[in-house]
Structures are given as structure tokens and as C-alpha cells.
Structure 1
Amino acid sequence: MPLPRIAPRPPAPNRSPRLTEILGAALRLLEDEGAEALTMRRLGEVLGIRAPSLYKHLPGKGAVENALAETALWEIGDALHRVVDAAGPDDVVIRLLAEYRRFARERPNLYRLVAANPLGRAALTPGLEDWSGEPFYRATADPYLAQALWAAAHGTVLLELDERFVPGSDLARTWAALAWVFTAR
């Protein structure tokens, strides 16, 4: 049985409907056009407003990126907690890795924003980063194994997203081997 939760899910920030709309547009822009397109000017164009109007809701691009990073942490945290809650001791690692991979492949630009760039920890909801990574600890029961599992999953998924594996590689077998390494103790 996976370990119980250490802490409850931190409360989500209370966002106005307009801020929610802006962040939804930013998320679509990020996923559709990539991180380089995520500018206040381009976001204003997408929303049909002038960029200066955005500053009433967010102080700049960094605040948009931080809010999207929080979105990613909420989404991956919820997904990984659900998987760990439903898994048994024999399949928890493989199911955790499968969900982590699924999220990154379905939301590659959001994943890269939160996982491949410096994280503005000071701007995050307190406890969010720890909570979103907690499923790795719950799956391994050891903080250092949890960090190693996350690091291995992160590196593997980035290599996959960037198409760095040898063409024709059986990535399902690669992910299965990764899970085996962390369960064969």
C-alpha cells in the first residue's frame, strides 16, 4: 500500500473570473505557440485587448509564467495523487511514471515551463511544490529514492519530448525498465 498523504492539498488561490480568463488564454497560447510566443503583447492580441490592460491583473510576463507554473503543479499533483491513491504496492511506481509521462506528453510546453526553467518558488502557493511532488515519496517511502525517481522521470521525459532517443527506440520498454529499477529492491 502506498504511504498516506503527509499534508492536505494546499488551497488554490482565489482568482477573479477575469484573471482566470487571462490565464486560460495564456495557457492556450503557451501550448499552441510555445514559450517564445508567451508575451504580454501576444497575450493581449489573443484576448483582443491592449497589452497595458493586462498589467491591471498581472504585473508582467514573470507573473503569468508563475501562475502557469502553479497551474502545472496543481494539475500534475492532482493526477499523481489520484494514481498513487489507487495503486497497489506492486504497480505504484509504474503507474506513477505512466501518469507523469502522460502529463508531459499531453502538455509539453506547460511541462517545460515548470520543470525545465527556474521555478519562482517565492511566488508559489505555500506548500504547493512539496505537495505536488509528494506522490514520488509516497511511491518509494524514502526521500532520496523519491528525488532519484523524479530526476530519472524528468530526464527521461525531456529526452522523449526533445526526440533525443535513437530513432526506433521502444520507449515503452525504456519506461518499464525505469520502473523496474525503482521497484527491484
Structure 2
Amino acid sequence: MSARPEPRPLSPRASEIVAAARELLEEQGRDALTMRALAERLGIRAPSLYKHLPDKAAVEVALIERGFVELGDALHAAVADSAPSHVVANLLATYRKHALANPGLYRLATSGALPRQRLAPGLDEWAGTPFYLAVGEPHLAQALFSFAHGMVILELDSRYPDGSDLDRTWAEGARAFSSLSP
């Protein structure tokens, strides 16, 4: 497993703010994540937040970094712990499980423009490396990620018809990508 880039360190109070922001994000969604709502959750006034984090974007970056660390750790472990014949299936199952368990954080980290210049250098690439490790070819790895992301977003948005066997759809995707791996 390659060395994980560490997110920028936060003070204990900033960590509490980010934890509260994550709870708010998961409970009410991205639109509800405002500095005012965050301050209310913490029982303080909104201007007090700016002593610890300069703006809402800094809160979001801290959340994205933590999300990439959690997902990346899980995906790297899935690849490392898998037999070659099961690596793609285990990677996809881990990705799906993590994304569905953290839908607010997942959406924040994967929708819209990614503020790479504000993230810990290399963190997003490290988090995505397991896709390459699973298939051994960069373009196939991007296609595999795109499949996983598209499946998750459609599942989160309840876009599949009622009665769809999504477990089978994921399994068929894993089988197809496994057959393409060198």
C-alpha cells in the first residue's frame, strides 16, 4: 500500500466543527451545510466559527479530505486483502458500501469541481489508486471508477426502476471489468 498523504492538521476545536459539519451534512444534505446552521448546532454564533476555519470552503475541504482518507483506506485494504480473481468485486463492494453509508460526504467529495489546490497534495490520487491496482491499466481504472461512481449516484438518487437487482448489476460490472484486466 502506498503511503497516504495526510490531511492538513486541524486544531481540536476545528476538528469538533468539522465533525459537527459532517453530522449536519449526513442528516440534512449539502444545501443545509451553512455556517449559520453549523454554528447553531454547536451552540455558538456564526462569526465564532471563523476563528477556527476561514470560510465554508475550508470546512468542505476538511470534510472532503477526511472522506478521501476513509474511502482510500477502505479501498486500499480491499485490494490488499483480495485474491487476484476477486479484487475487482471486492473493490466495488467496498466502494459501494462506503458511499451508501456516507451519502452526504460522498456527494460532497464527488460532485462539482474538486478543489484540488486546497487539498493535501496527492490525496485524491492516492484515494483513487486502488482502481489502478485492481486492473493494472490507467484507462481501464478510470472506466472502472466511472462505473462505480455512476452506479452509486444512480442508487443514491433512486433512479433505478423498482425491482432492479442492483447486487446482480454490480456483480455483472465486476465480472466484466475482471475479464478485461491484464
Tell me, yes or no, whether TM beats 0.5.
yes
CA deviation after TM superposition for structure 1 residue 117, in Å: 2.2
- Alignment length, in residue pairs? 180
- d(CA) in 2 for partners of 1:41, 1:80: 35
Tell me the residue number matched to 2:124.
129
Tell me the residue number matched to 1:142.
137
% identity of equivalent residues: 54
Tell me the residue number matched to 2:150.
155
Tell me the residue number matched to 1:50.
45
- d(CA) in 2 for partners of 1:59, 1:151: 33
Q: Match for 1:141: what amino acid? A: G
Tell me the residue number matched to 1:41.
36
- 1:25-40 counterparts in 2 under 5 A? 25-40=20-35
CA deviation after TM superposition for structure 1 residue 13, in Å: 2.4
- d(CA) in 1 for partners of 2:104, 2:112: 11
Q: Match for 1:120: what amino acid? A: P
* Pick aligned residue for 1:95 from 90, 94, 105: 90
- d(CA) in 2 for partners of 1:9, 1:69: 15
- d(CA) in 2 for partners of 1:177, 1:47: 45
Question: Which SS does the other structure have where 2:117 is aligned?
Answer: helix
- d(CA) in 2 for partners of 1:85, 1:66: 28
Q: Does 1:115 align with 2:121?
A: no
Q: Match for 2:51: what amino acid? A: K
RMSD over aligned Cα atoms: 0.9
Q: Does 1:14 align with 2:9?
A: yes
Unaligned runs of 5+ in 1: none
Tell me the residue number matched to 1:167.
162
CA deviation after TM superposition for structure 1 residue 133, in Å: 0.3
- d(CA) in 1 for partners of 2:151, 2:20: 29
- d(CA) in 2 for partners of 1:155, 1:170: 16
Tell me the residue number matched to 2:76.
81
4+ aligned runs moved over 3 Å, structure 1? none
CA deviation after TM superposition for structure 1 residue 162, in Å: 0.4
Tell me the residue number matched to 1:62.
57
Tell me the residue number matched to 1:184.
179
Tell me the residue number matched to 1:104.
99
- d(CA) in 2 for partners of 1:134, 1:57: 32
TM-score (norm 2): 0.96
- d(CA) in 2 for partners of 1:122, 1:16: 21
- d(CA) in 1 for partners of 2:178, 2:77: 20
Tell me, yes or no, if the aligned pair for 2:7 and 2:66 is still in contact at 8 Å. no
CA deviation after TM superposition for structure 1 residue 84, in Å: 0.6
- d(CA) in 2 for partners of 1:174, 1:124: 33
